Structure 1
């Protein structure tokens, strides 16, 4: 099982001996040979990087559109639960403020004109007709953005399988390649005290997240954060699916009596180096936005609306 201890990532890993068949509970699946250079997993060119804007107002317009698409994607995946859930975007013009969904509006209906801009005091200073603020969104996200200036976007919702796994109060086991995306890169916040309406609680959550990409809020839900909207959406969708996979694997193991086989630390580390970095998350998120752009606006793009046709 992964730990929450911060460690320095290495560029290579040690070859370990493969286990014998049927060896003990919680055995590790280790390889005799490295699988190759993790840096080869994604092409290193402009097509794998987010666009750069010289005009901050055009950047704001583009990012608000992407944030609205992120909500549409969350809605399509069934991540909405009543009025719970929020995704925030640090404003590129005033980094001390952030854009968020208005309280009480379904994810699937949100457009860029509906988004509201919130300052560091929790005051709504811009937005559409509905300027209601979910104070829980402010209590959590304001502290996350304040604690780590590199976080441009953060997402939290009460997704079905995330909620179920959150009830276990434990970290994910490295049972699959996808799980390794979160190897030593997620944590568990175990202090459930009800709806988060206190800034101090938000600070504790932000501190628990630290520089990791994902957080399991025990008895609550999932949270992901990162440098781009695309990676945050990609991480959240994958986090939810890995939680689902963990629950199915746990049930299968309990029912059959066959122990789960975890991926070894060296292999998990190598896989994280290939798939778990910010650029990989951004690139993995692009297809979701391509589909949303086409379904919502009939435009085929690779990097985003107005940049170039696919």
Structure 2
């Protein structure tokens, strides 16, 4: 069973020429700017560095579980190829030099490490069915996996959780079954139309971005945090006051976009670039 959620969008108050209310109106202020590239090679290097940073961020947040967990980003020049973290390498040890590139069948075309086949089957299916999705994240996290066992969507109990309101799905298909066959992730991929996140029952969390690996990574971190918060409230036996649908949609419109996910991740990127320079090796 897949629970698809409709997506009525709130009227935007973002001024023309801008994509977010957080962008400064004054000129000359320091503020993160979206990158521009002179070549596919330059863009590829950028994507690989930010993919590594996402892996390092997952390590810091304790998202590791043995060799489980995989992050992918579509190659800018060859959209049928995807860069991903190597099999059986801890998130904290991922670096530009040990990333691997594979096609949608899981055949490694660049890099010396093996690929996590079970994980890549799911990612490849989503990327193949949704050409607009450029990046995906999945990890076997404590709270996300626990929440996924409930088989229900995240409730809008806060502004943070409202970012996922009507923008995630609960996937019951193939619940608890490890996908290893080619096309084994198709049912999961079917549910990813028009949303940025999925809760796969008895498995865990997945996020996807039509913008960047930065955005996919941040929204995964945020979704795990929201699952933790909801589990804590439910464990207390208290019925939370939910944000009304109208307000939740309004908040999602302004704090739940791919751009906002990218913007949030820049704080993580800047810290990691300064504190873990070995990730560029």
Q: Same fold (TM over 0.5)?
A: yes
Q: Corresponding residue for 1:244? A: 228
Do 2:122 and 2:179's aligned partners in 1 also have CA atoms closer than 8 Å?
A: yes
Scaled by the length of structure 1, the TM-score of the pair is 0.81
Do structure 1's residue 263 and structure 2's residue 243 form an aligned pair? yes
Partner-residue secondary structure (3-state), 2:36: coil
The correspondence for 1:199, drawn from 182, 186, 198, is 182
Q: Corresponding residue for 2:101? A: 117
Count of aligned positions: 268
Do structure 1's residue 213 and structure 2's residue 196 form an aligned pair? yes
Do structure 1's residue 233 and structure 2's residue 217 form an aligned pair? yes
- Cα distance in 2, alignment partners of residues 193 and 260 from structure 1: 29
State the Cα deviation string for residues 40-94 of structure 1 (Å, max 9, x = none): 6311689454202121011111211111111111111110101100000101111
- Cα distance in 2, alignment partners of residues 73 and 198 from structure 1: 30
- Cα distance in 2, alignment partners of residues 259 and 157 from structure 1: 29
Do 1:190 and 1:218's aligned partners in 2 also have CA atoms closer than 8 Å?
A: yes
Q: Corresponding residue for 2:6? A: 6
Q: Corresponding residue for 1:63? A: 47
- Cα distance in 2, alignment partners of residues 7 and 194 from structure 1: 29
Scaled by the length of structure 2, the TM-score of the pair is 0.90
- Cα distance in 2, alignment partners of residues 86 and 79 from structure 1: 11
Do 1:49 and 1:282's aligned partners in 2 also have CA atoms closer than 8 Å?
A: no
Q: Corresponding residue for 1:286? A: 266
Q: Corresponding residue for 1:308? A: none
Q: Corresponding residue for 1:179? A: 161
Partner-residue secondary structure (3-state), 2:199: strand
Decide whether aligned partners of structure 1 residues 166 and 211 sit closer, same or farther in structure 2, where only a CA change above 3 A counts: same
Do 1:38 and 1:270's aligned partners in 2 also have CA atoms closer than 8 Å?
A: no
Do 1:49 and 1:279's aligned partners in 2 also have CA atoms closer than 8 Å?
A: no
Do 1:140 and 1:199's aligned partners in 2 also have CA atoms closer than 8 Å?
A: no
Q: For the aligned residues, what is the CA RMSD?
A: 2.1
Decide whether aligned partners of structure 1 residues 143 and 173 sit closer, same or farther in structure 2, where only a CA change above 3 A counts: same
Structure 1 gap segments, 5+ residues each: 13-36, 300-304, 306-310
- Cα distance in 1, alignment partners of residues 79 and 62 from structure 2: 30
Which structure has the bigger radius of gyration? 1
